[in-house]
Amino acid sequence: MDNVRLGKTNLEVNKIGFGALPIQRRNMDDSIEILRKAYESGVDFYDTARFYTDSEEKLGKAFEDVRSEIYLASKTAAETPEDFWRDLETTLKELKTDYLDLYQHHNISFCPKKDDDLAKAMIQAKDDGMIKHIGITTHKITFAHEAVESGLYETLQYPFSYLSGAEELQLVEKCKSLDIGFIAMKAMGGGLLKNSKAGFAFMNQFSNVLPIWGIQHMYELEEFLSYPTDLKLDDELSRIIENDKKELGENFCRGCAYCMPCPEEINISICARMSLWIRRFPTEPCLNEDFQEKMAATKNCTECYSCVDKCPYELDIPQLLKENYEDYMNVLEGRTKI
């Protein structure tokens, strides 16, 4: 099976979805090279957002001549009809197209229902042919259930990886029974999972799930393209998954940055997961002056807890920062060997 059917949208897309958030960090030429390689290799679903700085512009430049051969999904964080129309207009211009295959509410603070003004704007955009299908993204499980039960959405985008537990698996099943396409974001745990082969084989178990792999480098794309499309979990891959689950637990920072900005300018999405980062990736670069400064800034935390209200995983961020700082200093000063 090379394709995934995205629920009631009836879109049949290549099972390697392209998450276009990380290409913000590449220059225009490199981004276009990666995107064209993906297209030429059969990847046909690209997910971006108004919020991802120049990601839409890069997709627009890369695909202007092949627009009808691919599916473009974008998102808006607008919470008023005025902002919604402004975002949609900008997105279409940046993507150099006159329609989106999928338009999604992007992690907004409430779930629009059919009678809400924001939902009416979305429905109007569909009636006018500016968008083909309506979706929503969230990181919160109760919100996700509210959205899929509303009857308005054709797709749900939600964090899903081999670290996911029973609640997420139930959500995937529920989407399947309601014929709602399930788009898996953070399929590599927000950058903390290293084994893309295990991730790919895990996703293959779900016929209704489309993972959008966040791709920043050509080698990452080539890794996904190298796997047989029917790759299955074997003993070795299952062992890797079990080890990662043990090491990461449930209360770890995914680096999504929804809790930021911090009034004290603490870089929470880096500092709250530094202990994991220095163990799972080369340690030395994490001990340079720049990271030392970032970690030192965590001592300025006033415990105002405004970040905690915004964290979809309800993490105790001030506590996590303290633990990560202590561990970091122990590694830096040689008291902890890793």
Asked if 276 interacts with ligand SF4 (CB under 6 A), we say: no
**Cβ closest to ligand SF4, residue 143 vs residue 153:** 143
Our finding on whether 315 is near ligand SF4 (CB under 6 A) is yes
DSSP string, 230-272: T----HHHHHHHHHHHHHH-SS------TTPPPTT---HHHHT
Look at the chain and count its residues: 338
- Contact between 192 and ligand SF4 (CB under 6 A)? no
Q: How far is the CB of 262 from ligand SF4 (least distance, A)?
A: 3
Q: Decide: 155 and 104 in contact? Cβ < 8 Å.
A: yes
Q: Select the residue interacting with ligand SF4 from 21, 175, 311, 331 (CB under 6 A).
A: 311
Check residue 159 for interaction with ligand SF4 (CB under 6 A).
Answer: no
Q: Is 99 helix (H, G, I), strand (E, B) or coil?
A: coil
Instruction: Tell the smallest beta-carbon distance from residue 285 to ligand SF4 (Å).
Output: 20
Minimal CA–CA distance to 130: which of 139, 138, 121?
A: 121
CA-CA distance, 9 to 134, in Å (whole number)?
9
**Applying CB under 6 A, which of residues 313, 323, 332, 336 lies at the interface with ligand SF4?**
313
**Least Å from the CB of residue 323 to ligand SF4:** 13
45 and 212 Cβ atoms separated by less than 8 Å: yes
Candidates 89, 236, 303, 326: give the one binding ligand SF4 (CB under 6 A). 303
| Rounded-to-integer distance, Cα 190 and Cα 256, Å | 7
What is the DSSP code string of 142-172? HHHHHHHHSS--SEEEEE--TT--HHHHHHH
How many whole angstroms from its chain centre is CA 284? 27
Q: Which of 35, 49, 175, 307 binds ligand SF4 (CB under 6 A)?
A: 307
Please, which residues have CB within 8 angstroms of residue 161's CB and are 6 or more apart in sequence?
184, 186, 187, 188, 189, 193, 199, 202
- Residue 264 binds ligand SF4, judged by CB under 6 A: yes
Residue whose pair of structure tokens reads 């997910």 in the numeric block:
47
Q: How far is the CB of 303 from ligand SF4 (least distance, A)?
A: 5
Contact between 251 and ligand SF4 by CB under 6 A: the answer reads no
Candidate ranges 37-45, 130-138, 163-171, 268-276; the one touching ligand SF4 (CB under 6 A):
268-276
Nearest-angstrom CA–CA distance, 321 and 146: 32
Contacting range for ligand SF4; rule: CB under 6 A; set: 7-15, 103-111, 174-182, 304-312: 304-312
Q: Which helix (H) or strand (E) is 294 found in, with range?
A: helix 289-297
Instruction: Kindly state whether residue 306 participates in binding ligand SF4, applying the rule CB under 6 A.
Output: yes
Q: Give min distance, CB of 191 to ligand SF4, in A.
A: 11
Stretch that binds ligand SF4, among 71-79, 97-105, 178-186, 306-314 (CB under 6 A): 306-314
The one segment of 1-9, 56-64, 108-116, 298-306 that binds ligand SF4 by CB under 6 A: 298-306
Binding region for ligand SF4 (CB under 6 A) out of 30-38, 256-264, 282-290, 328-336: 256-264
Which of 268, 276, 286, 295 touches ligand SF4 by CB under 6 A? Answer: 268
Whether the Cβ atoms of residue 34 and residue 61 lie closer than 8 Å to each other: no
Contacts with ligand SF4, residue ranges (CB under 6 A): 253-259, 262-264, 266, 268-269, 272, 301-307, 311, 313, 315, 317-318
